[in-house]
Structure 1
Amino acid sequence: MTTTTAAQHTPAPETGSQGPGALPLPERAAEALVLAGGLGTIVSAFMSWTWTSDFPGDLTVYGYPAGLQIIALVAGALTLLFGLGRRHIRGLGWLNPARSANPVFLAALAAFVVTWFSALAIAIDLGGLVNLDPGAYVAAAAGLIAVLGALGLPHEGTNVKAYFTKADHIPRAALPAPWAQRVIITLCAALALVAFSYGIGIDDDDSETFIGFALLVIFAAWALNAAGLFERFSELNGRHKGFATGMAFLAAVAFPFTQSDDHNANLGVNILIFGTVALGLNIVVGLTGLLDLGYVAFLGVGAYAAALVSGSQYSSIHIQFPFWAAVLTGMAASLVFGVLIGAPTLRLRGDYLAIVTLGFGEIFRIAVNNLDGSSGPDVTNGPNGISNIPDLNLFGFNFGNAHDLGGFTIGRFANYFFLMLLFTAIVVFVFKRAADSRIGRSWVAIREDETAATAMGINGFRVKLIAFALGATLAGLAGTVSAHVTYSVVPTPYQFAGAAPPNSAFLLAAVVLGGMGTVGGPILGAVLLYLIPEKLGFLQNYELLAFGIALILLMRFRPEGIIPNRRRQLEFHETGQLDVPEDGLPAGTVGVTKAEA
């Protein structure tokens, strides 16, 4: 953590010299435009943007921001703060330690994109520019002024593209006292909770506000990364891993208390189920390098096994296990299927293994669809599935009833959210311990080069079978909760693609999008892939097209995923900067080549 490179000691570039891509503006004038644009965006949020309340969010009130106005207000504040931070105004210099124009430009671009999107959305939805009030014009003008000012700031590089990259010379941070580091971690966890709660709380029919929120998150995260703040925060997490994990868990626990609608808690519990299954798939794909295209079948095995012993009147065996026994039954059933499928197929590699796992997924869906007593034995009730699964009752606590806790009403889905959060924590613990163990290192060796790993004495078949079985077991664990949350289990969701997530395609996309081999990557991928279709209803018929385009762009510009694993990042970027200081090289190290690593 204390090692530095020569690049870190290189002084920051002179702020008086402009790069070839900068506009011909004096630096002071450019800074003034950035600050004026940010301030103007903030002011515009307190003005009326349209005369009618027909547009979502009611943007007609002066002095009371709502909807897109709140998002523009945050974007303007970021622009103002990064603009002041570039001059290292007392107390704000930490925002832009390299005094780079890049994060200022990206923050200004966030304000520009949000305000112009808002103005265009109002004009298109309501039928013309005549529906814009003065506040919308002020917001659009302020966003444009901020971007023009940022483009006039001096920067390193030969063209405008340089504004979108991270500064080359970011100095190491002078870390505060340990207690202050913990305060920073706590505040960041609280900020993440506020952002997630706001995003998930946007009405499902208010797609305009959610798009504006998504644009703000993308460009704000881009700006923070360009300023090197993600690296510094990751270094703090590395110094206080246990505390950071605890704060993240507490922030998740606090989520249901921030929502007045239990529907949002339903989204939360389904995201946790999706994320937990993606973590299990991450063992198979991310750590071991086995392409599994039928993984969702193990979720279905766990769900059906739990449903059969749940006491439902539609269960073919008519027995009811305690929940802990139902959980073990679902996990054991998935484990057995994982071993039965893995034992004869894991001697295959690459595309051949992918085809076999894809076939297994389809075989499972077709089998449970036909086990209805007419085309096969009466086990799963065929296409009708197993319905009326009773709610859990643990130690007298009925998960189907609302409960009052400290003045807050905790609904049915919030109850299951807490239960699934506990299971997610268990899965994260298992994943981390397994990845850091001897068997985890064997998985990575198999992923990198199975032939070389076998030559070094690793039993490739046994190691891959353990990964397959463990991943299947974790999926079965999530399936037991999924069966009770949804009240029923039907064959439709357990297919490769086409149904709402989780299906195999979306699970694999969550792992690749978030970052293979990491803990946070699949969970973040699950959040994005579950929440975006839920909030953007007009994409319902184009989900696969939209996510296909997103994955293409990701593979082009960030193939290692949003939250990269260090080893994979070095593989994809020969001279790239390390965004996430995980195990290995010191945080804050920049300009490290693959050979040097």
Structure 2
Amino acid sequence: MSKLNDLLVRWAVPARWVAIVGGLAVMAAAFLPWAYRPEALDDVTYYGEPSLLQWLGFALGLIIVACLALGPFVAAKAPARLRRLLNFNRGAKTAAVASLVYQALAAASAALELGGLVALEPGAWVGVAGAALAAVATRALPAGADPRLRWLKTPSWVQILGIVVVLALVLAAAAYGLGLEDPGAFVTFAAFAGLAVWVAAALGVMGWVSAAAQANRSALVLAAFVVAFVFPFTQDGSDANMSIAAGVLIFAATAMGLNIVVGLAGLLDLGYIAFLGAGAFTAATLSESAFATIGWHPPFPVVMLIAGCVSAILGLIIGSPTLRVSGDYLAIVTLAFGEIFRITMNNLDGTDGPNITRGSNGIPAIPNLNLFGFDFGESHTILGFEIGRFANYYWLLLLVMGLIITVFVNLNKSRIGRGWVAIREDERAAEAMGVNVFGLKLLAFAGGAFLAGVAGSVKAHVDVSVTPDQYIFMESAFLVAGIVLGGMGTVGGVLVGAAILKLLPEKLRFFEDYRLLLFGLLLIVMMRFRPEGLLPDQRRQLEFHADDEELAEEADEAPPGLATAAPAASGEGKA
């Protein structure tokens, strides 16, 4: 082992210069054409005129060179405290691997779109070769400890400014990504976004952002809401993009209710989509559609409450007899309930049962909402921007999402939320400590179902029609997958998981036949490298990692005010 260390030390300086050459090659590749024809990516055919995707590759190369240039200075000249906060070697290693992945993916996307490697121009080959050279050379550099930039003491206004900048970058990335029509360009850009987060975590930036968010929760919530509200103004009146955004919010609102059942109470529900369907059918039957089967048409706020209550009652009905079982048996029973709901909606057609849902035909022609004189079905011009139908519903869903998040957060912090977590951790121990296990399980089912019913009432008007075939088992599976992917028990995790699982199928329609394969591979990778989810809470991160003692020590060593943020951020460099 000592010989290996001596060898690494001996080759560290030459390897650093080789890696710098590789980073410079990656930067130079951005100014060379990557493909022969403009159809590939975002037209990467020009000399000296990089497209945005080429500039992104340039940025990764620049990070490699900057980290390699600053590393020796920090190691030799910087104070000991600064050396604990920064680790440019680790950043260079991560940036080199990220650059190799990005360059290889961009080249592969262009080759697939243009019919083979022969369509690639010199820039693609130079970029891949330079990134590979840097990735191999940086392996000889000492890794060192994880950077602890989150310990850096900064004024509150700097932290708030950092939060605003991060959310502005998220808004810009979302606006640009949704506007990409080319599948290869979208995949390449999405990969860069993920790789950029990985590099930022390796440099400690994400740890600092996490600590800043912990210390300025109110500013974070306000800035996030403002960014979400402004999003429709970036879409130039595109109904296609805003329909995707509205679908993400519906999916997220439904998943937030399921997060109570799965993430907090630890109950695996595979038929949860039925509660969303119950809310949608309730709103459809009470709407002013010519095909509605109930003659009563109350105002929409009342319809939302009724839809939520109907779903909650279904939750109580299914929960009362089935919550006495657990584990795999509960999953099977809830799966059966989802199928029973769909079959029942098909049978309420006036032949096999009362005519409530019109059977497999469903209830079409559901009119658009009109609240306080505002017609959600018409386009409006606001501040010179055209706001279409789906943007109107997006803002309504944003308000609904805000209410659902408020309910979820307050429940999570309450005595009820602590009881759910106790049941999830150890049901027998919770019961022995006096927790009303059955009552809290039933409340979780009913509460989650209520939130899903509210989301379903809006979905009925967004989709214009409601049919039983919209609410199948696979939709429940995707809801569970979104929670697992993002991070169970957290608000941010649900939003990220919903965005990924709703956005990818819409932008990668050519991959539709292999969608389940893609999701399966994604979950396998997550279970291997990030089992706690992309945005986990502290408790679940400590549960899934073997280095619990290390995380606890970091929390104890952290400066005052950051002890709670340290464990949550410490795993980011390992993602």
**What does 1:54-133 align with in structure 2 at a 5 Å threshold?**
54-66=39-51, 68-84=53-69, 86=71, 97-133=85-121
Kindly state the Cα deviation for residue 137 of structure 1 after the two structures are TM-superposed: 2.8
**What does 1:524-539 align with in structure 2 at a 5 Å threshold?**
524-539=496-511
| Alpha carbons 2:148, 2:207 under 8 Å: kept | no
Is residue 2:568 matched to residue 1:568?
no
Inter-partner Cα distance in structure 1 for 2:218 and 2:309: 31
Q: Provide, for residues 529-578 of structure 1, a one-character-per-residue CA deviation record: whole Å limited to 9, x for no partner.
A: 11112222232112222212221222222221111121122122131565
The farther-off stretch of 103-112 and 18-27 is 18-27
The farther-off stretch of 98-107 and 336-345 is 98-107
From 184, 188, 195, the equivalent of 1:219 is 195
Kindly state the Cα deviation for residue 133 of structure 1 after the two structures are TM-superposed: 2.3
Identity across matched positions, percent: 45
| Alpha carbons 2:85, 2:152 under 8 Å: kept | no
Q: 1:172 to 1:339 in 2, by over 3 A?
A: closer
Inter-partner Cα distance in structure 1 for 2:113 and 2:84: 38
Q: 1:79 to 1:266 in 2, by over 3 A?
A: farther
> What's the counterpart of residue 365 of structure 2?
388
Inter-partner Cα distance in structure 2 for 1:213 and 1:23: 37
| Alpha carbons 1:306, 1:326 under 8 Å: kept | yes
Kindly state the Cα deviation for residue 148 of structure 1 after the two structures are TM-superposed: 3.1
Kindly state the Cα deviation for residue 85 of structure 1 after the two structures are TM-superposed: 5.1
> What's the counterpart of residue 286 of structure 1?
263
> What's the counterpart of residue 155 of structure 1?
143
From 255, 260, 278, the equivalent of 2:231 is 255
Question: Aligned partner of 1:380: which letter?
Answer: T
Is residue 2:307 matched to residue 1:322?
no
Is residue 2:128 matched to residue 1:140?
yes
Kindly state the Cα deviation for residue 81 of structure 1 after the two structures are TM-superposed: 4.5
Inter-partner Cα distance in structure 1 for 2:300 and 2:570: 51
Question: Aligned partner of 2:98: which letter?
Answer: A
Structure 1 alignment gaps of length 5 or more: 1-16, 157-166, 498-502
Inter-partner Cα distance in structure 1 for 2:5 and 2:396: 55
Inter-partner Cα distance in structure 2 for 1:262 and 1:42: 37
Q: 1:311 to 1:171 in 2, by over 3 A?
A: closer
Kindly state the Cα deviation for residue 416 of structure 1 after the two structures are TM-superposed: 0.8
Kindly state the Cα deviation for residue 320 of structure 1 after the two structures are TM-superposed: 2.5
From 414, 430, 447, the equivalent of 2:407 is 430
Inter-partner Cα distance in structure 1 for 2:7 and 2:311: 57
From 502, 505, 526, the equivalent of 1:554 is 526
Is residue 2:341 matched to residue 1:364?
yes
Q: 1:457 to 1:36 in 2, by over 3 A?
A: same
> What's the counterpart of residue 33 of structure 2?
48
The farther-off stretch of 549-558 and 95-104 is 95-104
> What's the counterpart of residue 452 of structure 2?
475
Inter-partner Cα distance in structure 2 for 1:147 and 1:406: 48
Kindly state the Cα deviation for residue 83 of structure 1 after the two structures are TM-superposed: 3.9
> What's the counterpart of residue 464 of structure 2?
487
Inter-partner Cα distance in structure 2 for 1:476 and 1:590: 33
**What does 1:337-348 align with in structure 2 at a 5 Å threshold?**
337-348=314-325
Inter-partner Cα distance in structure 1 for 2:62 and 2:245: 29
> What's the counterpart of residue 207 of structure 2?
231
| Alpha carbons 1:106, 1:220 under 8 Å: kept | no
The farther-off stretch of 114-123 and 234-243 is 114-123
* Secondary structure in structure 2 of the residue aligned to 1:316: coil
> What's the counterpart of residue 175 of structure 1?
153
| Alpha carbons 1:85, 1:95 under 8 Å: kept | no
Q: Provide, for residues 247-305 of structure 1, a one-character-per-residue CA deviation record: whole Å limited to 9, x for no partner.
A: 11111112111112221111111101101111110100110011111001000000110
| Alpha carbons 1:521, 1:562 under 8 Å: kept | yes
Inter-partner Cα distance in structure 2 for 1:572 and 1:122: 38
From 165, 174, 187, the equivalent of 2:165 is 187
Inter-partner Cα distance in structure 1 for 2:21 and 2:410: 51
Inter-partner Cα distance in structure 2 for 1:494 and 1:305: 14
Kindly state the Cα deviation for residue 428 of structure 1 after the two structures are TM-superposed: 0.8
Inter-partner Cα distance in structure 2 for 1:207 and 1:95: 42
> What's the counterpart of residue 10 of structure 1?
none
* Secondary structure in structure 1 of the residue aligned to 2:381: strand
| Alpha carbons 2:152, 2:208 under 8 Å: kept | no
Is residue 2:22 matched to residue 1:37?
yes
Kindly state the Cα deviation for residue 328 of structure 1 after the two structures are TM-superposed: 1.3
Is residue 2:284 matched to residue 1:307?
yes
TM-score normalised by structure 1 residue count: 0.87
Question: Aligned partner of 2:11: which letter?
Answer: L
The farther-off stretch of 372-381 and 479-488 is 372-381
Q: 1:128 to 1:529 in 2, by over 3 A?
A: closer
Inter-partner Cα distance in structure 2 for 1:554 and 1:61: 38
Inter-partner Cα distance in structure 2 for 1:411 and 1:516: 34
Q: 1:357 to 1:130 in 2, by over 3 A?
A: closer
* Secondary structure in structure 2 of the residue aligned to 1:404: strand
| Alpha carbons 2:488, 2:533 under 8 Å: kept | yes
Is residue 2:182 matched to residue 1:197?
no
Inter-partner Cα distance in structure 2 for 1:424 and 1:592: 30
Q: Provide, for residues 56-90 of structure 1, a one-character-per-residue CA deviation record: whole Å limited to 9, x for no partner.
A: 42222334333642442343344344445535689
> What's the counterpart of residue 326 of structure 2?
349
| Alpha carbons 1:269, 1:417 under 8 Å: kept | yes
The farther-off stretch of 564-573 and 40-49 is 40-49
* Secondary structure in structure 2 of the residue aligned to 1:409: strand
Higher share in helix: 2
* Secondary structure in structure 1 of the residue aligned to 2:44: coil
* Count of residue pairs brought into register by the alignment: 557
Kindly state the Cα deviation for residue 21 of structure 1 after the two structures are TM-superposed: 9.1
Question: Aligned partner of 1:263: which letter?
Answer: A
From 325, 331, 334, the equivalent of 2:308 is 331
Is residue 2:486 matched to residue 1:514?
yes
Inter-partner Cα distance in structure 1 for 2:448 and 2:294: 27
| Alpha carbons 1:288, 1:444 under 8 Å: kept | yes
Kindly state the Cα deviation for residue 398 of structure 1 after the two structures are TM-superposed: 0.8
| Alpha carbons 1:87, 1:99 under 8 Å: kept | no
Q: 1:590 to 1:51 in 2, by over 3 A?
A: closer
Is residue 2:274 matched to residue 1:297?
yes
Q: 1:314 to 1:64 in 2, by over 3 A?
A: farther
| Alpha carbons 1:22, 1:155 under 8 Å: kept | no
The farther-off stretch of 481-490 and 568-577 is 568-577
Question: Aligned partner of 2:198: which letter?
Answer: W
The farther-off stretch of 116-125 and 414-423 is 116-125
Q: 1:425 to 1:591 in 2, by over 3 A?
A: closer
> What's the counterpart of residue 25 of structure 1?
11
| Alpha carbons 1:372, 1:382 under 8 Å: kept | yes
Inter-partner Cα distance in structure 2 for 1:264 and 1:285: 30
Structure 2 alignment gaps of length 5 or more: 556-560
Inter-partner Cα distance in structure 1 for 2:277 and 2:461: 13
Q: 1:306 to 1:478 in 2, by over 3 A?
A: same
| Alpha carbons 1:316, 1:380 under 8 Å: kept | yes
